[in-house]
Amino acid sequence: MEKKYGVYICTGCDIGKSLDTKKLSEVAAKSKVPICKTHPIMCSPEGVNLIKQDIAGEGVNTVIIAACSPRVMYDVFDFGGPVLVERVNLREGLVWSHEAKKAGGEGEEAALDPEFQMLAEDYVRMGIVKAQKGDLPEPYKPEEEINKKILVIGGGVTGMSAALDAASVGYEVTLVEKEKELGGFAAKLYKQAAKTYPYTDIETPDIQSKVSAVSSHAKIDVRTETEVARIAGAPGLYHVSFKPAGTETEWDVPPKAAAPAAEEAKPAEGGEAAEAGGRVYKDILLLDENAERYGAVILATGWKPYDATKLDSLGFGKYPNVITNVMMEELASKGSLVRPSDGKPAKSVAFIQCAGQRDEKHLPYCSSVCCITSLKQAKYVREQGEDAKAFIFYKDMRTPGQYENFYKSMQQDPGVFLTKGDVVSITEDAKKNLTVEVDNTLIGEKITVNVDMVVLATGMVPTTQDEAIINLAYRQGPGLIDLELFNGFADSNFICFPYETRRTGVYAAGTVRQPMTIPMCEDDAAGAALKAIQCIESAYRGVSVHPRSGDMSYPDFFFARCTQCKRCTEECPFGALDDDERGTPKPNPTRCRRCGTCMGACPERIVGFKNYNIDMIGSMVKSFEVPEEDGIYRVLAFVCENDAYPAMDMAAMKGLKLPTAVRVIPMRCLGSMNTVWVKDAMARGIDGIILLGCKYGDDYQCHFAKGSELANRRMDNVGETLKSLALESERVKLVQVAIDEYDKIPQIFNEFMEQMEAIGPSPMKGF
């Protein structure tokens, strides 16, 4: 569209008191902006109406608002229709976070700092340039019609709950279960801890009513003894084929030889595998003619018990009367607690918590629900009579929420003995009775108990750990990614985004995501169902999902210059890009989360968004002034909009001050950082560049999973760029910042400025 610009400067919130807004208007005029107006409260109805009048009467369709942070008032400054809006952060980004005056000498009045005004003028220039280089994105509309049906994999309590939740609001659901019957493990439970007040008893799980509700629902298609053979496509556009449970298809069998394209698709450092479980990538591009259409997938395949044969030190497999908590549940379901060795009633039972858990040799995590399970099963023992006894030896007792009431009720039972302690040994006598020796107990003494049976509280292992249960036809492979970060559980960002996997449109719920009780699984199912619905509706409207929900932009590729280097396909955290046999990217926009990682990865700079691209950021880098005077430095900060930029806003709200030499450019994600911007900045004489990104590593906080980590890896390329310019490597630095570390922001910038001053000004100034 032909653009007509308008700059609107707010003078409220101390902006007008601290800055010469007339000079800011002159900046707009020099940038050939025909309309520039000020208002004391731009976010007021009067201020907003001022802009609306120019949109309607003057034809303004590109609005630059110099006022508060773009993180606030975004709904107030949404003018709808074909109006591009850019925000210049003068309040939090300047007035609230910088000193307007230089300290005077003794007896002298502080003078206005010219750097303060210059910073404001530079920000206005950058905002105008950003608007000039950006265009309004249009929603993505695929040729194929978006499908709104939801596929739920797993017919346990989580899968059934998710299916009912989605169907109850009008969505068609296919529920797939590999067993003959629905219900999963919950259907095999004898009892569960009470779900109603006072939460001190046990009750029979009401699974059959849920099975009946699912089986009779008009919008739920139940398919038992069925597995997913293959899922191709993208959110709203999935093509899913099924198979009888336990059978193989052509997609399960590795090919005899790999095609050249697959052999050449070597992943870059940190990239994802080019081959999918031995299958040739060109084969998985083919669509199954019998495939059915779906919009989103809910993964609710549950858990399996840890292999207790690995716990021989606790007597399992060695002594017949050492069993697991799952085996105990099976015994109780049969109507009587008897010993496996001789069928005699088990009147005294020892429960050993964390059996193989919180142990790097077995399971490094705690399954959390085992404590409640053992307390419940201790009640089974006590129901056999007053002479029945239960002993529970634990490392820590975890009974959150209402389960604390159940725990307290069991503490008051005289036939239940609980203590913290370490199991030293388990031995067996000639009659198959067991002796358990426990040290480091709460009473400070070693305890020895003789029991009929020992129950090991083994942990939950997710079904995703060693099974490609969704069999995705993606370049990056058939399963989910980075499961090792979550001990095999299907998760994406455990801090910010529950339910979401690294595959957009696939949402995990229940014990495949983390250990949970039945009520927790039911709640989790509702969350996953809502996420699946949100994803489908976003795909239908042509916009992105989390974390840039509603973003209409999507990456555009100038394929004529593509060298088929495969960096974009390998580095995309979400598998949004496939490629053809030559290695040319094949975008899947409904998989894309708009992070821009592909843009940062591309050495040829052929990837961009209409409202976020290489030329835009590069032009912003070139738009502000770089003084040549001695002692005046210029530092450029590329700041992630998800954690670091909000932290900077919070620092400003707290009155913390930053150096005026720094110019900040917000980034969608540091993964979108292209090294050409470093070269452009350094060539202009910028003294230093600092990148502020999210925490990365095992406990990463990056909203796009890999952004900060990828930016850190690209620092090697940055080093080569600096070397080619004969500049010190210390002039570019990446710092990890959590959203709550706003108090560290001034220190980060001040220390970097001190480092630049120690190195000295850039020798590129004036060239």
Tens-digit pLDDT profile for residues 622-664: 999 999 888 899 999 999 999 999 999 999 999 999 999 999 9
Average pLDDT, the chain: 91
- State how far the Cα of 39 lies from the Cα of 48, in Å rounded to an integer: 10
Cis peptide upstream of residue 547 (ω within 30 degrees of 0):
yes
* Whether 542 contacts 140, CB under 8 Å: yes
Give the range among 31-40, 491-500, 592-601, 750-759 with minimum mean pLDDT.
Answer: 491-500
Q: Which of 690, 765, 675 is nearest to 722 (CA)?
A: 675
| Angle at the Cα of 652 from the Cα atoms of 648 and 658, rounded to 5 degrees | 75
* Whether 487 contacts 356, CB under 8 Å: no
* Whether 166 contacts 534, CB under 8 Å: no
* Whether 231 contacts 147, CB under 8 Å: no
**Strands across the sheet with 348-352, in order?**
322-324, 453-456, 348-352, 389-394, 416-420
Q: What Rg, from alpha-carbon coordinates, does the chain have?
A: 31
Q: Per the structure block, which two tokens stand in for 510?
A: 């229940």
- State how far the Cα of 176 lies from the Cα of 154, in Å rounded to an integer: 6
pLDDT digits 0-9 by tens, 365-390: 999 999 999 999 999 999 999 999 99
Residue 112 is predicted with a pLDDT of 78
Give the three-state DSSP class for 206: coil
User: Which long-range contacts does 673-677 make (Cβ < 8 Å, 24+ apart)?
Assistant: 673/600, 673/638, 673/711, 673/714, 674/599, 674/600, 674/602, 674/605, 674/614, 674/617, 675/714, 675/717, 675/718, 675/721, 676/605, 676/614, 676/618, 677/614, 677/617, 677/618, 677/621, 677/638
pLDDT digits 0-9 by tens, 57-114: 999 999 999 999 999 999 999 998 899 999 999 999 999 999 988 766 555 566 778 9
Residue 182: phi and psi, rounded to 5, are -80, 165
- State how far the Cα of 577 lies from the Cα of 222, in Å rounded to an integer: 32
Residue 391 is predicted with a pLDDT of 98
- For residues 696-713, give the mean pLDDT: 89
- State how far the Cα of 657 lies from the Cα of 655, in Å rounded to an integer: 6
Percent of the chain with pLDDT over 90: 81
Beta bridge partners of 298: 152, 507
Quick one: pLDDT band at residue 701, thresholds 50, 70, 90? confident
Contact partners, residue 574, CB within 8 Å, separation at least 6 = 502, 503, 504, 591, 592, 593, 595, 704, 705
- State how far the Cα of 723 lies from the Cα of 27, in Å rounded to an integer: 36
* Whether 95 contacts 77, CB under 8 Å: no
Q: Per the structure block, which two tokens stand in for 755?
A: 């480092």
Contact partners, residue 307, CB within 8 Å, separation at least 6 = none
Q: Per the structure block, which two tokens stand in for 361?
A: 């040799």
pLDDT at 453 over 70: yes
Sign of the CA dihedral 283, 289, 291, 294? positive
Residue 465 is predicted with a pLDDT of 63
- State how far the Cα of 272 lies from the Cα of 267, in Å rounded to an integer: 6
pLDDT digits 0-9 by tens, 159-195: 999 999 999 999 999 999 999 999 999 999 999 999 9
Residue 105 is predicted with a pLDDT of 55
612 residue type, one letter:
Y
- State how far the Cα of 489 lies from the Cα of 481, in Å rounded to an integer: 10
* Whether 292 contacts 501, CB under 8 Å: no
* Whether 693 contacts 702, CB under 8 Å: yes
* Whether 293 contacts 147, CB under 8 Å: yes
Domains in the chain, ordered, with CATH?
Answer: 1-136 (3.40.50), 150-254+270-304+462-541 (3.50.50.60), 309-457 (3.50.50.60), 612-767 (3.40.50)
Please report, to the nearest 10 degrees, the dihedral formed by the alpha carbons of residues 205, 206, 207, 208 taken in order. 140
Q: Which of 225, 215, 221, 223 is nearest to 178 (CA)?
A: 225
Residue 335 is predicted with a pLDDT of 86
pLDDT digits 0-9 by tens, 222-269: 999 999 999 999 999 999 999 999 888 766 644 333 333 333 333 343
Percent of the chain with pLDDT over 70: 93
pLDDT at 557 over 90: yes
- State how far the Cα of 407 lies from the Cα of 404, in Å rounded to an integer: 5
- State how far the Cα of 17 lies from the Cα of 557, in Å rounded to an integer: 46
Q: Identify the DSSP state of 624.
A: S
Residue 277 is predicted with a pLDDT of 36
Beta bridge partners of 460: 305
Strand 460-462, strand 303-305: pairing: antiparallel
- State how far the Cα of 705 lies from the Cα of 476, in Å rounded to an integer: 15
